[in-house]
Structure 1
């Protein structure tokens, strides 16, 4: 592994992915497909998004490492982001779980190539006014580590809402 900091990133992402996989392994298809509201994602949509977004941010990381100074990021309307969640009836649970499961190896392989000294290299975000220049460590911490953990928490919130719904 490239550095202790990178090892920590990998370990944290793996823990969140393991938590996600562990929790969904006990859920029925109905629970995984249930949407808390019209504006909230089902657990299946969350799984699909985690699979798509993690690969997207790894690609962004690789791109700015390969070509320093390159602008990085995306908006909420990014076509890949939207495609991952817009047709939940066409998503299969097995495919979504398999993709999330495969992320662990992908995260390990790609992050292990990042050396400690590269973590401080800054690159401009596409929304420069909001983010400005940010180091590679910011991209990894915010858009990979915190992002995957946040979606694990989102799954837990969905299950709490589902539980409350069934009690009514």
Structure 2
């Protein structure tokens, strides 16, 4: 269980760092897009809010039904809808949603064992093939969060360069 607690702690740390980074920032800055085809910080946060329950539910499903398919492609409806609805939400709503995902992390990862994470199942996305659920947790949750934290930082830096007087 110690390994899973470290993973839970890593997820919490990344979520807390994201929230602390964006909390003092204006809605204007959070909604700014570096390019038409690039996500704003709020869109990234909406995606983060959606990915945690999605991927952890996939892991839980495989733990309950080994051999079932898991995963999705970049065109998954839930993924796209979360980002598309970003402009209909406030930064506070999104941040509260991200904080709320900690309950999902605790509920799912807190009840899984290392044996559950060693179960291998095929992905719906041919890119991944057959992987153990530890791959999903490490790569599609923890590393995914790390990558989006970096993306948020880059976007905020780009905003500062593009808007030096704000």
Query: TM-score of the superposition, structure 1-length normalised?
Result: 0.93
| Cα distance in 2, alignment partners of residues 35 and 82 from structure 1 | 17
Alpha-carbon distance in 2 for matches of 1:87, 1:79: 12
Say how many residue pairs are matched: 165
Q: Distance in 1 between matches of 2:67 and 2:40?
A: 37
Q: Note if 1:137 corresponds to 2:149.
A: no
**SS of residue in 2 equivalent to 1:40:** coil
SS, match of residue 21 in structure 1: helix
Q: Confirm whether residue 166 of structure 1 aligns to residue 163 of structure 2.
A: yes
Structure 2 stretches lacking a partner, 5+ long:
none
SS at match of 2:72: coil
Structure 1 residue runs of 5 or longer lacking an equivalent are none
Residue of structure 2 in register with 1:17 after alignment: 15
Alignment check: 8 A CA contact 1:13 1:149 kept = no
- 1:88 Cα shift? 3.3
CA RMSD in angstroms, aligned pairs only? 1.3
Residue 105 of structure 1 corresponds to 103
Q: Deviations over 1:74-133 (max 9, x none)?
A: 0111000000112432122221111001112221221011111222110001124x2221
The C-alpha deviation readout for 1:29-86, integer Å capped at 9, x for no partner, is 1111111111111111111111111111111111111100000000111000000112
Residue of structure 1 aligned with 2:42, choices 44, 48, 54: 44
Indicate conservation of the 8 Å contact 1:49/1:81, yes or no.
yes
Q: Secondary structure at the match of 2:121?
A: strand
